Structure 1
C-alpha cells in the first residue's frame, strides 16, 4: 500500500503539487485573519464546583478580572491635595475604560468607602472623599482621622504607614479584552503620572495585557529562530533544497493549521506560540529526514533522466511509515489533553492536533514530491563541509552501540531515569513561585505585585459564600454572622492570607457608632434580632451597590473575601484544605458554605483539575503511544521498546522543571503532553531503518551502522539546528516562553541522545522480534558481543 501511495504521488506530482499549492493559498488567506487574543472564559473548567460558585456570584462579590492600582509616595503621606487629586482623576477615568464594571470601582475617591456616624439626629453614612477633594488643611486632617478610625479602610485601602492607597476595579468577564484594557488603563495612568507619585498596577487584565504587549518581540524571536534554522541547515546540508524544503514544510503546516482553526472559530492564544514552535520543529525534522534519504539514494543511483523521481519515490516509500507514525503519535498524545474540562486546553488541543496532522501533507508527502522535480546537483552550494565531523559523532554512536560500552549506556540511562523520576515527585502543581510565572521576577508587573503585597493585605482575592437561596435574610442571623467571624479568625492564621472582609466586620462598627464610638461595643450583637436591626440601620444609610461587596440583595448569601499575598499552588491548596477543615468542624444548622470565587478560587479549580488529571493524562498518553506502536509494528514488544526514549526524555524534563521551580499549570500542561510524542520521533527513524536493513538481509551490526549513518545523520542535523534555534527563546521578555524554549531544547537533546545511543544499544542487546523477525541462523552467526565490518 505504501509503495502504491508513493508511486501515485510521484507519478501525479504536478497535480499533487498544484492542488496543495492552491489549498495553501486559500487556507493561508484565512490564517492571516485568525484572532490573536486571550479569552478569559476559556480558562475556566465550567463544571467545577468552584467555578460554578464564581459564575453565580461574580457580579455581586467581584470577579477574577480585578485590577489593583497603588499610589505610593516616598516622603510624607498620601494626604496631600496633589496626590489625592491623582487618585480622584484615575477613579473617575476608570468609568470610561472598556468592559469596566462601574459598580466595582472602589477607592478613597469613590462613594463605596464611607464613614458611619451616629448622633441625636440619627445614623449618618457619608463617603470619605466624594465628590470633592478636601478644601483646606482642616478638611484634610479630618479625612486622615476618618481613615484612621475606620479599619475597613485603614489597612485594606490605605497602608498602615499612610504612604500608599489603592484603587480596585473589576471588569466584566464576557466583555473584557485584555490588550484593550491594558492599553486604556496605562494611558489613563499616564495622564496623571508626573513622577511625583509611584503608580503600580496589577491584575490579570494587566498581566495578559503584558503578554500582548510583547507580541511584536515574540514575532521577532520567531523570525530570528527561522533565520538561525535556515543558516544552520544551509551550513550543514550544503544544498538549497536542504534549506528551502524544510522551511516550506513548516510554513505550509502553519498556514493550514491556522487557516483551519480560523474556519472553526478558534482564536490563537499568544502564549501557545511555544507549542506552535514545537510542532513546526517536527515539520522541519520530518522534511530533513526525507531530504537526507533522498540524497543518500541519489548517491546510489546511476545518472539518468528519472533519477530524482526514483530517489524521491524511494524516500517517500521508506520514510512514510516512521513519518506517519511520528505524526500520529504526536497528535494522539496531544489529543489526550482534550479530556481536560478546561476549554482553553480543549481548543489548544484542536489547534495542535490539526497542526500536527498537516505534517502528513507538508512534510511526508509535499517534500518528496517537490524533490522529484530537482535535477541531481553537480556540487555543493558552499565549500564548508561539516559532515565529516558529524560522521565522527555517528561513528562514536556505532562504536558504543556495538561494543560493551552499550551496557554502560543502558545501565546509566536506567539509573538516571530512576533518580530523575524520584526527584520529579517534588514537581509542583500550579504556580511555583511568588508573582506571575509568565513574566520574569524583575519585570514591572512582578515588582509592582511585590510592592503592593508588602504594603497591603494582598492583591489576589478569593471569596467564600455562606448562605441559602431559599432563605432570604439568612446572613442577618446570629449563626451566620458568628460563623463568618470565626471562619475569618481561623483562616487568617495562614501567613499567606493577608486579611479578610465580610459583613461581620462592618456591623461591629455600626454597633459602636450607635453608642458614640464606645470601643466596648465593637462586636456583633448577641442575638439575631440585634444583628438584624444593625443590618437594617446600615441599609437605611446605604446607597444601591454599597452592600454588594458583602451580601446579595435578599441577604440570602454573604461572602467572606480573602486577600492572598501570592498565588502559588501550595498556598492555594493549603487555604482550600483549611477552609474545608473549618467547614467540616463547624457544621451549620441553617445554610451552607460554597467554595470559591475570585481569581484564587478559579486558580484553585484549575489546579485541582491538573492535579487530578496529570498522572492519568501522562499514563493515557503513554498507553496511546504504546497501542499505536503495537498496531503499526504488529508487536506488543514495539510498544515497550518505544516507551524507553519517551520515559527518559520526560523524566529528565520533569526533573528540570522541579529544579528550576517551573510549576505544572494551565500553560505548561500542553507542552508536557506534546513532549511525550516529541520524545519518540527520532527513535522511529533509527529503529525503522534498522528494521529495513535487517529485512534486506543485513547483519545486525551492518543494519545499526547503516541506520545511524543515514537516519542518524538526519537526527543529528535537525536536533543541533532546532536546539540552537529554540535556545533563542531565552532572550524573551516573557519568562514562560524562555523557560518553555529551554524545555524544548532539553527534550530535543535527550530525544536525540536516546535515539543515537540508547535505542541502537537496546535493539542490539535484546534483539526484538518485530525488528529482526524469525532469523535464528543470522542471529547465531552474530552474537551480541561480536562486531563485524560492514
Structure 2
C-alpha cells in the first residue's frame, strides 16, 4: 500500500537532486509555500497606488538635469495644474462669476500640495495691470481692494484685464472663462504633522479637485463650468483606472477558468493551475510592497502579465502530467516524470521572460524601471509556484480518470487537425511558408517606417479622446492663446547680466527664430516686457517697440517682468508656447532651439534646454528613441544566447528566434497602422511580447528535438510534437489572447493599446511557433545527424 507514495529504484536513479529534494519533502514544500503566501498576502493587501512626477521623467537626460538644477529659478514651469472656470451664459465680468472664482481660488489655496506662493489667478495680488499716462507709468492689482461687485467696479475690472496683458493667458480670448494656475510641490509638510514631509498623493489630489472644486462649485453656481488639466489630474485619472483593471482581471480569470476546464476536463487540475498562478500574482504584489514599490498607472498591468505567464507554464505542466498519467502507477509518479521532463525547458523559458523585462532597466525612466523590476520579480516567483508547487500539488490531488482516459485516447488515435498542421514541416509546404514569411517581413519593415516616437495626438493620449480630461484640454486650446504645452529655454548668464543688451539681443533673435518655427504659437520672455515698457515710455509709439542700448533704460524696462528672470538676474527663461506636444512638433522645435544654441553659445551666455511640460516630453521622446533599438537588440541577443546554451545548436536558436523577429516587425507595422506611437506606455510591449512569446518556441523545439533523436523523420516528429505539446501551445496562446483582449475595451487608451498589441503578439508568436518554426527546421535542422544521438540539448536524458 505504500508503493504509490514512492517511486521504484529505477525512477529514483533517474531523478535529479532537485527532484528528490522537492518530492521527497512534499509536506515541507507545501507548508513553506503556505507560510510565504500568508505573509506576502498580508504585504499585498497594503500595496497602494503610487507615483510621482520625477518617476515619470528621465532624470539623467540633459534637459531634465538642467531643469532640476534651475528649478528654483523657474516659477510655475514644472508640475502644474490649470483650472479654467467658464461662464456658461454671459462673460466673466459678472458679480456671481467673480465671487465663485474667488471662492475657488481660496479653496484651491488650502489644498495640500499646492505651492501657494506661486498660485495665480485674477484674484492673485501678483496679477497686475499697467499703462502709460501723461505722467508716466501707472498700474495696480487687476482686482483692486475697492472691488465690491458693483457695475462700476466690474467696468474697472474689465479695463484692468485689458491693460494687464493677460487676455489669452489667464483670461480667455472671448472673455467667457479665466484660469487659476496651480503649481504643485512634490513633497510638503504633512497637515497633521508639520514637522514631517509627505509626498503628493496624485489620486487623492485628483479626487479633491473633483469633489471640492468641480462638483461643489458647478452645483453651487449652474452658470459655471469647470475644466481641469495638468499632470497631476491626468495621473489621478489613470490611477482611477485601477478599478477597471481589477474588473478586467476578474473577467480574464473567469475566461481562463472556463477554457482551462474545457482543455483538461478535470476540475481538480483546473483549480490547481488557477490557485498556483494566483499565488504567483499575490507573491509578486507582496514582494513589490516589501521592496518599497507601489502600483503606478503602468506597473498596474504587471499582475496581468504574471498571470498570463503563469497560466502558460501551468498548462504545459498539466498537459505533461495528463500524458504521463496514462502509463504511470500514480499521480506522484506522473508529477515527478513531468517535473523531470519540463523543469529545465520551463526554467529556460522563464529566464527568457525575465531577460525581456530586465532589458527595460536601461531606460532612465522610473516607471519603466519599476515595471521591469516588478515583472522580473513576478517571473522569478513563477519558478516556485508553477514549476515546483503545481507539480507537488498535483501529486496529491491527481488528475481525474476522465482526463486520463482522454489523454490515453489522444495518445493512440490519429488526429486529423495535428496531421494537417504537420504539413508545415513537409518539403512542399515549408518553402512556401518561408516565402510568405519573407514577404510579411519585408512588408512589415517597409510599413513600420511610418512608426513615430512619442505622442501622436493632442491632450493626454493615455486617455480616450472623449475622456473628460481631453475634452477639458480641447477647451483650453480653443479658448486661450497660450496653450498648456510649454517649452522653456533657459538663458544663463553671469549674475546681474540678464538685462544687458548683449544678452537681450540674442534672446530677441531666439524668440524670432522660434516664432517662425512651425508648431509654435507664441513666445514670451523679459524681452517682450522690455519692448512694451520702452514703447510705453515713448508715448506708445510702435517705432520705439525695440531694445534700447542704454543700460539704465533696459534695467528699468524689465522691472515689471515678474517671473521672467531670477533673483540675481543670471537666468532668464524664454517660454515657447506650442500648438501641441506631438512628437513631430517637439522634434522640430527642439532641433531649432539646439541649432540656435550651438550658433550663439559663448562665454557668459548659454541657451539651455529645456524645462516646461513640452521640454519633459521632448526629453522622454529622445530617451525612448535611443533605447528602442538597443532594447530590441539586447532582448534578442539574450534570448538567442539562452537558446544557444540550452540547445547547443545555432540552427535550433534560429528556429526559435526568427519567428519572434517577424512578430516584432509586424507589431511595429500594426502600431504605425493604428496610429500608436512608441512611448513610455507602449515601449515595454516590445520586450514583453518577445519574452512571453519565446516560451512557445522553447517548449515546441524541446519536444521536436527529442522525437528527432528517437529517429523519426522531421514531419512525423513534428506531428508527435503537436500531439504532445502543440495542443498546450495552441490553447495557451488562445487563452491568454482572449484574456488580454478584454483590455481593448478599457476607458484608458494606453491600456487598450497595450491590450491590442499584446493580443496580437501572443497570437502571432503562437502562430509563428506552430507555422514558421517547423518550416525553418526543414531547412536548418539535419534530422539524420540527430537520430540516435543522446547529446545536444541540455534536456536530453
Would the aligned equivalents of 1:573 and 1:604 in 2 still touch at CA under 8 Å?
Answer: yes
Would the aligned equivalents of 1:458 and 1:499 in 2 still touch at CA under 8 Å?
Answer: no
Would the aligned equivalents of 2:682 and 2:753 in 1 still touch at CA under 8 Å?
Answer: no
Q: Which residue of 1 aligns with 2:778?
A: 764
User: What RMSD over aligned residues (CA atoms) do the two structures have, in Å?
Assistant: 2.6
Q: Which residue of 2 aligns with 1:781?
A: none
> Which runs of 5 or more residues in structure 2 are unaligned?
1-13, 188-198, 791-797
Note the alpha carbon deviations across 1:572-592, whole angstroms, 9 max, x for none. Answer: 111100111222344556411
1:626 to 635, 640, 664: 640
1:519 and 1:176, CA in 2 relative to 1: closer, same or farther beyond 3 A? farther
Q: CA deviation at 1:163?
A: 2.2
Note the alpha carbon deviations across 1:454-509, whole angstroms, 9 max, x for none. Answer: 222211222111123xx211111112222222222221223432222211122233
1:464 to 460, 481, 489: 489
The answer to whether residue 678 in structure 2 is matched with residue 664 in structure 1 is yes
- 1:48-447 equivalence runs, <5 A: 48-61=61-74, 62-117=76-131, 123-130=137-144, 133=147, 135-150=149-164, 152-174=165-187, 175-186=199-210, 187-193=212-218, 194-301=221-328, 304=329, 307-379=330-402, 392-402=416-426, 404-447=428-471
1:49 and 1:563, CA in 2 relative to 1: closer, same or farther beyond 3 A? same
Q: Which residue of 2 aligns with 1:553?
A: 567
Would the aligned equivalents of 2:120 and 2:180 in 1 still touch at CA under 8 Å?
Answer: yes
Q: CA deviation at 1:382?
A: 14
Q: CA deviation at 1:352?
A: 1.2
1:614 to 608, 624, 628: 628
The answer to whether residue 616 in structure 2 is matched with residue 593 in structure 1 is no
Q: Which residue of 1 aligns with 2:26?
A: 13
1:628 and 1:119, CA in 2 relative to 1: closer, same or farther beyond 3 A? same
Note the alpha carbon deviations across 1:736-782, whole angstroms, 9 max, x for none. Answer: 1111111111011101101111112222332257xx7544999xxxx
Q: Which residue of 1 aligns with 2:60?
A: 47
Q: CA deviation at 1:520?
A: 4.5
Q: Distance in 1 between matches of 2:737 and 2:414?
A: 16
Q: Distance in 2 between matches of 1:520 and 1:526?
A: 15
Q: Which residue of 1 aligns with 2:9?
A: none
Q: CA deviation at 1:735?
A: 0.8
Q: Which residue of 2 aligns with 1:673?
A: 687
**Could you say what secondary structure the match of 2:115 adopts?**
strand
1:390 and 1:225, CA in 2 relative to 1: closer, same or farther beyond 3 A? farther
TM-score (norm 1): 0.91
Q: Distance in 2 between matches of 1:746 and 1:102?
A: 48
Q: Distance in 2 between matches of 1:433 and 1:382?
A: 56
Q: CA deviation at 1:344?
A: 2.4
Q: Which residue of 2 aligns with 1:531?
A: 554
**Could you say what secondary structure the match of 1:191 adopts?**
helix
Q: Distance in 1 between matches of 2:727 and 2:206?
A: 48
Q: Distance in 1 between matches of 2:391 and 2:38?
A: 20
Q: Distance in 2 between matches of 1:677 and 1:211?
A: 26
Q: Which residue of 2 aligns with 1:651?
A: 665
Deviates more, 1:123-132 or 1:253-262: 123-132
**Could you say what secondary structure the match of 1:562 adopts?**
strand
Deviates more, 1:520-529 or 1:10-19: 520-529
Q: CA deviation at 1:594?
A: 1.0
Q: Distance in 1 between matches of 2:680 and 2:384?
A: 30
**Could you say what secondary structure the match of 2:487 adopts?**
strand
Q: Distance in 1 between matches of 2:675 and 2:632?
A: 20
Q: Distance in 2 between matches of 1:288 and 1:241?
A: 13
**Could you say what secondary structure the match of 2:51 adopts?**
coil
Would the aligned equivalents of 1:236 and 1:387 in 2 still touch at CA under 8 Å?
Answer: no
Deviates more, 1:343-352 or 1:356-365: 343-352
Q: Distance in 1 between matches of 2:42 and 2:733?
A: 32
**Could you say what secondary structure the match of 1:111 adopts?**
coil
Q: Distance in 2 between matches of 1:292 and 1:497?
A: 60
The answer to whether residue 604 in structure 2 is matched with residue 579 in structure 1 is no
- 1:29-48 equivalence runs, <5 A: 29-48=42-61
Count of residue correspondences: 758
> Which runs of 5 or more residues in structure 1 are unaligned?
539-545, 779-790
2:712 to 686, 698, 706: 698
